[in-house]
Each structure stands twice: as structure tokens, then as C-alpha cells.
Structure 1
Amino acid sequence: MARWDIHPAGVYGVLSRTGTAAKNLSEAGSAIQGNLEEAASAAGTLTSQYGPYTSTVGLVGSALSQLAQHWGRDLLYIAERTSKSMEGADEATRCYLAGSLEQAANAQREAAREPKIDIPGTDGTNQHPEGR
């Protein structure tokens, strides 16, 4: 088993700063999503000239929608990975302080597992597209 030399105050300082950064990233992601939707709707529509006269999303709106879909999965992956890492570091440190190195190692190992991301309407795979 690996040797452990953890400085709990340092761990909790890093977790606090990481939590603040994660919150800021989440807020930025929400703002981007809203801005992309607004930009897509403001970009106009395509209307059939032959009837029935229906409008569909225009080319720019369609491209913005595809951009949001492509990066949305990555952003969810980052959020889930960050959450798992923070929870694992916290749990491993608590186990270390309690003197249970085996539980600390288990918490660390569990935190390193690939997060499962479920997005409605996707192909059902739960891993990051590049296997990261």
C-alpha cells in the first residue's frame, strides 16, 4: 500500500479554492447556454417560398445549436469529474485523519473512476467521447 503524507489544512484550502472556481465555471456555462439560445433565435429563420409557408431554424442558428450540443457534453463531463475529484479528496482526507488508510485508498480509487454522463437524446454511451 502506498505511503500517505497528507496535510489536511492544505487539502481543504485547495478544495475551497476549487469549489469557488467550479461555481464560477458553472455560472459561465449557464450564461453561455443562454447567450447561444438568444443568438440562435436572433439569427433568423429559413422560410419555404413554395408553401406551406413554414419557418425553420436558419443556418447560423443551426450552427449555434450544434456548437451547444458538441460542447455541452464536455462541460457536463468537466463538472462531474470536478465534483467526483473534490468529494474523493475530502473523503480520503477524512479517512486518513481517522487512521483508516485502506478506506482512504478506496475513496481515492473511487474518485478516479470515469464519471457517467447521461444526456437525453444521445446515443446512450456514458463516457467522454475521447475516453478521457
Structure 2
Amino acid sequence: MPDWDIDPLGVQRVLGETVDAADDLQEWGTAYQASLRSAAESAGTLDMGGAQRESAAGLVGAALAEFAEKTAADLQYIAARAGASLNGASQATVEYVNGDMAMAEEAQRNALREPDLEELPTGEDGGGN
């Protein structure tokens, strides 16, 4: 990365604004999950007569559950990609300010790597979602 010429304070300002936007995105994700769950529960079931089913979700609920399952990895990817970009830009700027261009370049290269969704924390163990 020859001839870097960045404004660290400008980067800090943009990163701060981007973190604020990412926080909004996280709030949207939480509301999205709650809305899907509520819609699935509110859709009701079909009464086919006869035996009562244990499931509270009908056809629409099942479709919404399948949709949520199929899109979960995409949402995780968006969050991981955004996090890697923010962290990479921050780390590269720190190294730039410290005068270590090789480490700045390495931080930028690392930020561009595809996120490994298998390594992300899940809501089940208290981290992440």
C-alpha cells in the first residue's frame, strides 16, 4: 500500500458514525427476530377438525420459521463483514499513526478476509445474537 495519506481524526469520526449505524442495525436485527416470531405466533393454525395439534404455528408460521432459518447466515455474514471492516480500518489507522506501514497493510488485508461464520459466538452461550 504505497503512499498512504489518511486523516486519522477523520477516520475516527467516520468509524464513530459507522459504529452508531451498526448499533442501529443490531437493534433492527433484534426487532426483526421478534417480529418474525410474533407474526408466526399470530398467524394461527388450520383447524382440520379432530385431534388438537400441539404446535402453535400453522402454515404461515412454518414458512416464516423456514425463512428465518434460511436468512440467518446472511444476517450473520453482514454483521461479521461490518465488524471486520470496522476493526480493520481502526487497526490499520493505529498502525499508520505508529508509523508501521507493514502492520497497517496487514491489518487491512486481514479485514478483507472472508469472515468465518463457524467461529462467531451464538446467543446460546451468551455471546453475540
TM range (shorter): 0.7 to 0.9
1:19-46 superposed Cα distances (whole Å, 9 cap, x missing partner): 0000001001100100110110111124
Q: Let me know the Cα RMSD of the aligned residues.
A: 1.8
CA shift, 1:72, in A, is: 1.9
In terms of fraction of residues, the more strand-rich structure is 1
- 2:71 paired residue number: 71
- 2:8 paired residue number: 8
Q: Is the 8 A contact 1:40 1:65 kept in 2?
A: yes
Identity %: 44
In terms of fraction of residues, the more helix-rich structure is 2
- 1:54 paired residue number: 53
The size of the alignment, in residue pairs, is 118
Stretches (4+) displaced over 3 A: 46-51
Distance (whole Å) between structure 1 residues aligned to residue 59 and residue 3 of structure 2: 57
Q: Is the 8 A contact 1:48 1:55 kept in 2?
A: no
- 1:111 paired residue number: 111
Distance (whole Å) between structure 1 residues aligned to residue 72 and residue 47 of structure 2: 28
CA shift, 1:71, in A, is: 2.2
Distance (whole Å) between structure 1 residues aligned to residue 44 and residue 54 of structure 2: 9
How high is the TM-score relative to the length of structure 2?
0.83
- 1:35 paired residue number: 35
1:15 aligned partner, one-letter code: L
Asked if 1:92 is matched to 2:98, the reply is no
1:22 aligned partner, one-letter code: A
Q: Which runs of 5+ in 2 are unaligned?
A: 121-129
Q: Which runs of 5+ in 1 are unaligned?
A: 120-132
